[in-house]
Amino acid sequence: MRYSSRFFLYAPFVLLLSLASIVMLHWWHASNQLAKRLDALNGHKIAPGVTLHFTSETIGGFPFRLDAMMDDLELDIATSFGPLTWRSEHFAAHMLTYGRSQQLFEAAGQQTLSWTDAEGAHHEFAFAPGSLRASAIAASGRLARFDLDLVGIASPEISGARFQVHFRKAPDADALDLALSGDELRLAPNLRAGFGDQIKRLEMEGRVAPAAPFAALLGGQGEWRAAIEGWRAHSGRFDMQNLAIKWGKLDATGSGQFSLSAAHRLAGLLSLGMTGLESLAPSNPGASSKPLVAALARLYVQQSTNNSDRLPANLAFENGQVLVSRNKGTFLAGSLDPLY
């Protein structure tokens, strides 16, 4: 056999082995760098106001992925009233060693959220998900899209079929697009607010503008309160383009526009159309003990409308108060604490 023939026989195998060696060396280097980075971040801030803790980590995914699996993960986010803490029994982050900058996340086991409100009361919400997955895509070093999908919620407070959150940098404007939805959510008695034990369907779509004040936050270099304060100072607004909720017998749709006041309280107006308010009449036992339900019931009683009509009403947020109004009256429906 001539040497030229041997070259064409063995060259593909040599090339394949060379490529495999490069891939393996690249993976080992990337995995070692990731392990060192995680060890350095453990117990320290990973972004302004955000601290990471975990008890152990394992790196896998050879040869084309990096899988970082952590046990007893804890994220502490600084707020004006104390830390907001998320604890996950098991957490994993997945990313490709080649290709676009995208990360996939999974959480399993017990999940716990804890926080302190403006009055100093401590709250905790624990649940076990059927599956909890999320994805993040970065562009130009900043978060450009985030999607979260929670299927099968098991908790004494809330249980349900599905809950989703979607976020992206708007492609056509200096804005951020937000959307969330929930299906078949069942609530504990203290969360029913007088409407019933089941939210059959919840949908919300909206746009936050401008997006520029959030650039440092989305790049992992800014703190969330500073970002929101910058947004507020630049006449920031949230346009709720669509809201739809079926909660017990209440069926409501609406839209509105919101901002933050100088006192960091929600301000704005939500225009609603509702059916099913007849079930909230004051004769309904316990309804009057819920401020929002009582206000809607009083509004319904004052209207000369058929039960089948979709009753229009406004939900206004002013100076920390929530007001339900229509041309025949305005009723106090509750209060809101400052956001930060």
Task: List, for residues 46-102, the tens digit of each pLDDT value.
Answer: 999 999 999 999 999 988 889 999 999 999 999 999 999 999 999 999 998 876 778
Q: What is the DSSP string of 131-163?
A: EEEEEEEEETTEEEEEEEEEEEEE-SSEEEEEE
Q: Which residues of 205-215 are buried (b: 16+ CB within 10 A; e: fewer)?
A: bbbbbbbebbb
Task: List, for residues 236-255, the tens digit of each pLDDT value.
Answer: 999 999 999 999 999 999 99
From the number of C-beta atoms within 10 Å of its C-beta (0-12, 13-18, 19+), residue 36 rates as exposed
Q: Cα angle at 192 between 189 and 194, to 5 degrees? A: 110
Residue 306: is its pLDDT beyond 90? no
Closest CA to 218 of 112, 324, 145: 145
Rounded to the nearest 5°, which phi and psi values hold at 100? -70, 160
At position 259, the amino acid (one-letter code) is S
Q: What is the mean pLDDT of the chain?
A: 89
CB 322 within 8 A of CB 335: yes
Quick check: helix, strand or coil at residue 222?
A: coil
Q: How far, in Å, CA of 304 to CA of 65, rounded?
A: 64
Closest CA to 258 of 214, 204, 220: 204
Task: List, for residues 185-212, the tens digit of each pLDDT value.
Answer: 999 998 888 888 999 999 999 999 999 9
Sign of CA dihedral 84, 89, 93, 94: negative
pLDDT band at 278 (very low <50, low <70, confident <90, very high): confident
Q: Cα angle at 170 between 169 and 171, to 5 degrees? A: 110
CB-based contacts of 322, cutoff 8 Å, min separation 6: 291, 292, 315, 316, 332, 333, 334, 335, 336
Both structure tokens of 314: 């406004």
pLDDT band at 309 (very low <50, low <70, confident <90, very high): confident
Which pLDDT score is estimated for 302? 75
